[in-house]
Every structure is written in structure tokens, then in C-alpha cells.
Amino acid sequence: MSSKEKKSVTILTESQLSSRAFKDEAYEFYKELRKSQALYPLSLGALGKGWLISRYDDAIHLLKNEKLKKNYENVFTAKEKRPALLKNEETLTKHMLNSDPPDHNRLRTLVQKAFTHRMILQLEDKIQHIADSLLDKVQPNKFMNLVDDYAFPLPIIVISEMLGIPLEDRQKFRVWSQAIIDFSDAPERLQENDHLLGEFVEYLESLVRKKRREPAGDLISALIQAESEGTQLSTEELYSMIMLLIVAGHETTVNLITNMTYALMCHHDQLEKLRQQPDLMNSAIEEALRFHSPVELTTIRWTAEPFILHGQEIKRKDVIIISLASANRDEKIFPNADIFDIEKKNNRHIAFGHGNHFCLGAQLARLEAKIAISTLLRRCPNIQLKGEKKQMKWKGNFLMRALEELPISF
């Protein structure tokens, strides 16, 4: 959208928010919103009317607001509930990201033991081995597409091994993940996504049958045990939880590794500083999370009770969507917010969310990024973009800030 077009827009649609054109100019658009229109109206098709939140303080407040619900069954009566847009929607949406307390607490408790500090640290050697193995394959070529050759396979291998699923299926997960995070309600996209999600459900059913016959010491086997006990996990919740762990277990980290590498290569002074002072890596990761937040927009929150925000009534059933990317560039919180500074102090970004739904895998994502970027810079000291910065394209995607590819030479 050009500046002229932005001024004329009164309501944003899902398709506009998901477009490549919007992603290219989103930061300038958010900057205008933070100045002049903290609540921006959205038209979300079958989901109804919504509001886009752009300011940090509003984001913090709303991410903890108990009047907002993730499970629409806690907002709509039986008569008000919309029909499912996808045949497999019910099977894949009963997970903790779409739940509210106490269900959310119950579901999160089932998996959080696998993501404790101690358990994550035990993965360090394995992640290092994966990073080295991936670079072994491409280093003789002096070239790679960082997304396909490094940023995607590293976290998908890690989460696959944690869950106990075959690595040879990882390319399927990539396609299915895109169908899940694609919010489009265009008829042709809905039909395509429904077909892909049907394939995913069939895969999960086959996987669960196999794990029932041959349980192991993996996370899926543990979830199946909880489901078999009958009180902790329903069958729909089991499938939904596996789906969420596969998708969330790699999508954010792919973007973190890619976006951080891209930011460093676009800011050579920061790249050189990190080379000279590797102890800045943790700080650099936090700045990358703030500067190019891997998750640009939050998933949907429904208004259960009306309330007033900035003089505007938010009505029951209204949708709230928060731009984490905008909140993390809020000038009132982050001085020089549009400058990438790996030594930024007091970096209170909310790239992993806030409140009850703070990302369970945040520590794992940080460790994967630390190993991936450190290994890349150590083994490929002459890393540079293959092509012009203007040739790099952001994906047209509602939720994520993700590059289509990142060709680099070294």
C-alpha cells in the first residue's frame, strides 16, 4: 500500500493484512497508527468485526485482559456460533493456544515438563551437531538459501526428535504448517487448505495408532498416555496438541534465525561488532526478536464483555488482534526503535507474547538461534547477501514475518 492508499483506507481486511505489499510497508503503517489511531478497524470476513492494536502499553494490557478469550465457545452462545470454515477445524483447534483457564492450565501442564530449563539445556549438544551437519552439506558450495538449507531444517529436526516423529516427514510439515497459519477466507484458498489439513489429520491418526502400539520415551507417547487416562486429555485435544507442537515448535524459530541473519547482513556495523564481541550474542538475539518479530500478529482474541479503549467501545464478539511487531517498535518504550542495535539496554520486547499465553518454547527458540547464528558466523566468516536487499521478499502471511528465501554466499 502506498502512503496515499493508506490514508484512504478506513477498514483493513484479512487479505490486505496478509499481502506481501502490506508486509513491505507495515512498519511505516504501524508508526502512523501509533501516532494517530491506536485502534484500527478490521473486517475479518466470517470472523466478523475486529480491531488492530499497535501500541506497546495497549498490547501489554490486552494480552492479560480477562475480558478477552481465546476459545470462542466462552464468548458465543450455541445459536451464535459460526459454522466451521474447514471440515477438520474442530480436530485441530482444541489446543492450549485456543483455550482459556482452567483448560489452558491443564493443557499447558501436560507438556511444560519437556520445556524446562534443565530439559532444554540437555538438547544443546544435539542442536550443535545438527547445525554443523547442515553446514557440512552446503559449505563446499559457498552458497545456500538460508531458509531451506539451515533455518527450516534445524528446528524441525529438533522438534521431530522431541516428539518422536520420522524426520523424513519434515517437508510435509512445512506444507501443512503453512495451511494452518494461513487465515485466508478466500473460497479457493479455503478449499486448498481444507484438503491439506485433511492430509495432516490422516497423518496424525496413523502416527497415533503407531505410537499406541509402540510407545517410546517421546512427548507424543506421553500425551497418548494422558489421553488414555481419560481425564487429562480428550482425543481432539491430543491431535490438536501434537499439531500445535509441530507447527509452533519450528515456525517461530525458522523466522528468528532467518530474520536475525538478514538484520545482521543489512547492518554491517552490528555484524562486525558481534564478530568482535561474541558475548553480545544473547543481547543480539533479543534485539532481533524485537526488530523483526517472528510472529507479527497475534492469533485471535474474542471480546467476552464490552469495554472502552481510547474512547472506543469494544463490543462483545469483536475480535482483537495485536501487532507484536508494532508494539516492539513503539518509540515510547524503545528509544531509536527503528535502529537495529545489538547492545540495546532494557529490551522489554514482547516477541514471545505476554501473560498466560507466553510462548512455552521461548527458551528452546533462543537456544536454537544462539547455536545456529554462532555456528554460521564461526564457520562462514565471509557471509553476505547474494543479491540486492530490495530483492528479498516477505511472505504474504497473516501471522508471521517471514522471508520467502534468504540467498547468501560465504
pLDDT at 5: 40
Q: What pLDDT shows up at residue 57?
A: 98
Name the average pLDDT for the chain.
91
pLDDT for residue 358 is more than 60:
yes
Summarised one tens digit per residue, pLDDT across range 92-151 is 788 999 999 999 999 999 899 889 999 999 999 999 999 999 999 999 999 999 999 999
Please give the model's pTM, rounded to 2 decimal places: 0.93
Please state, in angstroms and rounded to a whole number, the distance separating the CA atoms of residues 235 and 224. Answer: 9
Alpha carbon 111 to chain centroid distance? 18
Task: Provide the residue range defining the domain that includes 312.
Answer: 3-409
For residue 7, the model assigns a pLDDT of 46
Nearest of 108, 365, 407 to residue 251 by alpha carbon: 365
Q: Is 48 left (phi over 0), alpha (psi -120 to 50) or beta?
A: left
CB-based contact 349:286 (threshold 8 Å): yes
- Section 158-174 average pLDDT: 88
Between the two ends of the chain, the Cα-to-Cα distance in Å is 35
> Per-residue pLDDT for 3 more than 60?
no
Count of residues for the chain? 410
CA 342 to chain centre: 22
Which residue, 226, 220, 203, is CA-closest to 91?
Answer: 203
Residue 1 or residue 360, greater confidence: 360
Residue 79 has pLDDT above 70, yes or no: yes
Q: Does the pLDDT of residue 74 top 90, yes or no?
A: yes
Q: How many helical (H) and strand (E) elements, i.e. helices and strands, does the chain have? A: 19, 11
What's the structural domain count of the chain? 1
- For residue 84, the domain's CATH number is 1.10.630.10
Tell whether the model's pLDDT for residue 221 goes beyond 80: yes
Quote the distance between the C-alpha of residue 62 and its chain's center: 19
CA-closest candidate to residue 26, choices 318, 293, 334: 293
In whole angstroms, how large is the CA radius of gyration of the chain? Answer: 21
Task: Supply the DSSP symbol for 300.
Answer: P
State how far the Cα of 372 lies from the Cα of 366, in Å rounded to an integer.
Answer: 10
Mean pLDDT of 319-330: 98
In sequence order, which residues have a C-beta less than 8 Å from that of residue 66 and are 6 or more positions away? none
Site of grid cell 529490551: 347
Query: Residue 312 — left, alpha, or beta (φ > 0 → left; ψ -120 to 50 → alpha)?
Result: beta
pLDDT of 184 over the 90 cut:
no
58 grid coordinates? 495497549
Instruction: Report cis status (omega within 30 of 0) of the bond before 102.
Output: yes
Q: 3-state DSSP call for residue 33?
A: helix
Q: What is the pLDDT of residue 86?
A: 62
pLDDT band at 211 (very low <50, low <70, confident <90, very high): very high
Number of other CB atoms surrounding residue 359 within 10 Å: 18
Kind and range of the H or E run holding 308? strand 307-309
Record the cell numbers describing residue 158, joined without a space.
Answer: 529438533
Whether 327 and 55 have beta carbons less than 8 Å apart is answered as: yes
Residue 231 binned pLDDT confidence (cut-offs 50, 70, 90): low
Count of CB atoms situated within 10 Å of the CB of 271:
19
Q: What is residue 194's predicted lDDT score, i.e. its pLDDT? A: 83
Place 172 in a pLDDT band, splitting at 50, 70 and 90: confident
Q: Region 375-401: what's the mean pLDDT?
A: 92
The neighbour count for residue 7, using CB atoms within 10 Å, is 10
Distance separating alpha carbons of residues 256 and 263, to the nearest angstrom: 10
Query: Which has the minimum average pLDDT: 193-207, 224-238, 368-382?
Result: 224-238
At residue 363, the pLDDT reads 96
CA within 13 Å, CB half, 410: 21
Decide if pLDDT at 4 tops 60.
Answer: no
Contact, 37 vs 309, CB < 8 A? no
Q: What percent of the chain has pLDDT over 90?
A: 73
- In the chain, % helix, strand, coil (3-state, to 5) comes to 55, 10, 35
pLDDT at residue 85, as a whole number: 60
Check residue 45 and give its pLDDT. 84
Higher pLDDT, 194 or 346: 346
The per-residue pLDDT for 175 is: 86
Q: For residue 152, what are the CA distances in angstroms to 104, 186, 393?
A: 28, 27, 17
CB-neighbour burial class of residue 117 (10 A; exposed 0-12, middle 13-18, buried 19+) = exposed
- CA distances from residue 91 to 121, 155, 194, 227, 308 in whole angstroms, order as listed: 33, 25, 12, 15, 35
- Residue 335, pLDDT > 70, answer yes
Q: What is the pLDDT of residue 402?
A: 96
Cβ 167 vs Cβ 157: under 8 Å: yes
Q: Is the pLDDT of residue 236 over 90?
A: no
Quick one: average pLDDT of 77-84?
75
Among 16-20, 56-60, 291-295, the range scoring the smallest mean pLDDT is 16-20
Give the lowest-confidence range in 45-54, 178-187, 334-343: 178-187
pLDDT: which is higher, 314 or 249: 314
